[in-house]
Amino acid sequence: MFSLTISFNLHPNQERIQNNIEMLATMVDQSKPGWTRRPFTSWYKEGRAWLKQQMEQAGLQVSIDAGGNLIGRLSGSEEHLKPIMIGSHTDTVTGGGRFDGIIGVIAGIEIARRLQETGTTLRHTLEIVDFTAEEPSEFGISTIGSRSMVGNLTAEMLERTDQTGLVLDEGIRMIGGNPDEIYETARKTGDVSLYLELHIEQGPVLEQNNMKLGVVTGIVGIHRYRVIVEGKPNHAGTTPMNMRFDALTGASELVLELENLCKFTYSDPVVGTVGKFTNEPNGANVIPGRVIFELEVRSIDSEIIENIMSSFSKYAALVAAKRQLDISLDNLSKSDSIRVLPDVQDKIAAACSATGKTQYLPSGAGHDANQLASIAPVGMIFVPSREGRSHCPEEWTDFAEVALGVEALARALINFDQDYIERR
Ligand code: GLV
Ligand code: MN
Ligand code: MN
The model's pLDDT over 139-168, given as tens digits with 9 standing for 90+, comes to 999 999 999 999 999 999 999 999 899 999
pLDDT given at position 266:
84
Counting from 1 in the atom list of ligand 1, the atom nearest the Cα of 101 is 2
Q: What is the pLDDT averaged over residues 357-374? A: 97
Instruction: Please provide the distance, in angstroms rounded to a whole number, between the alpha carbons at the two ends of the chain.
Output: 24
Residues 10, 114: contact at Cβ < 8 Å? yes
Ramachandran bin of 140, using left for φ above 0, alpha for ψ from -120 to 50, beta for the remaining angles? left
Atom number, ligand 1, closest to the C-alpha of residue 134: 1
At residue 224, φ and ψ (nearest 5 deg) are -120, 140
Give the pLDDT score at 421.
Answer: 56
pLDDT at 422: 53
Instruction: Using the atom order of ligand 1, give the atom closest to the CA of residue 365.
Output: 4
The per-residue pLDDT for range 180-237, each reduced to its tens digit, is 999 999 999 999 999 999 999 999 999 999 999 999 999 999 999 999 999 999 999 9
Ligand 1 and 200: CB distance under 6 A: no
Could you tell me the pLDDT band of residue 7, with boundaries at 50, 70 and 90? low
Q: 120 pLDDT exceeds 90?
A: yes
User: Mind listing the domains of the chain with CATH numbers?
Assistant: 14-220+337-423 (3.40.630.10), 222-335 (3.30.70.360)
Q: How far apart are the C-alpha atoms of 418 and 38, rounded to whole Å?
A: 38
Residue 366 Cα, ligand 1 centroid: separation in angstroms? 5
pLDDT 10s digits, 235-283: 999 999 999 999 999 999 999 999 999 999 988 889 999 999 999 999 9
- Residue range 94-121: mean pLDDT, rounded: 97
Q: How many CA atoms lie within 13 A of 175 on its CB side?
A: 33
pLDDT of residue 1: 45
Mutate to test the pocket of ligand 1, among 216, 338, 367 (most ligand atoms within 8 A of CB): 367
Residues 272-324 have pLDDT tens digits of 999 999 999 999 999 999 999 999 999 999 999 999 999 999 999 999 999 99
Residues with Cβ < 8 Å from 211, sequence gap 6 or more?
Answer: 205, 356, 357, 358, 359, 384
Q: List the beta bridge partners of residue 71.
A: 63, 129
- Residue nearest to ligand 1 atom 1, measured at CA: 366
Q: Is residue 424 pLDDT above 60, yes or no?
A: no
Question: What angle do the packed helices 14-24 and 102-117 form, to 10 degrees?
Answer: 140
Nearest ligand, CA 105: 2
Q: What string of H, E and C letters represents the secondary structure of the chain?
A: CCCCCCCCCCCCCHHHHHHHHHHHCCCCCCCCCCECCCCCCHHHHHHHHHHHHHHHHCCCEEEECCCCCEEEEECCCCCCCCCEEEEEECCCCCCECCCCCHHHHHHHHHHHHHHHHCCCCCCCCEEEEEECCCCCCCCCCCCHHHHHHCCCCCHHHHCCECCCCCEHHHHHHHCCCCHHHHHHHCCCCCCCCEEEEEEECCCCHHHHCCCCEEEEEEECEEEEEEEEEECCCEECCCCCHHHCCCHHHHHHHHHHHHHHHHHHCCCCCEEEEEEEEEEECCCCCEECCEEEEEEEEEECCHHHHHHHHHHHHHHHHHHHHHHCCEEEEEEEEEECCEECCHHHHHHHHHHHHCCCCEEEEEECCCCHHHHHCCCCCEEEEEECCHHHCCCCCCCCCCHHHHHHHHHHHHHHHHHHHHHCCCCC
How long is the chain?
Answer: 424
* Nearest residue to 31 via CA among 103, 113, 95: 95
Q: Which residue, among 168, 155, 179, has the nearest Cα to 65 in the 3D structure? A: 179
Per-residue pLDDT tens digits for 57-90? 999 999 999 999 999 999 999 999 999 999 999 9
**For 413-423, what is each residue's pLDDT tens digit?**
999 999 865 54
Kindly report, residue by residue over 28-57, the tens digit of the pLDDT: 999 999 999 999 999 999 999 999 999 999
Q: What is the reported pLDDT for 268?
A: 81
C-alpha distances (whole Å) from 22 to each of 16, 35, 70, 95 are 10, 11, 20, 16
Q: How far apart are CA 30 and CA 50, in angstroms?
A: 18
pLDDT at residue 272, as a whole number: 98
Q: What are phi and psi of 385, to 5 degrees?
A: -110, 125
In the prediction, which pLDDT does 2 show?
Answer: 46
Ligand 1 site, residue 365, Cβ cutoff 6 A = yes
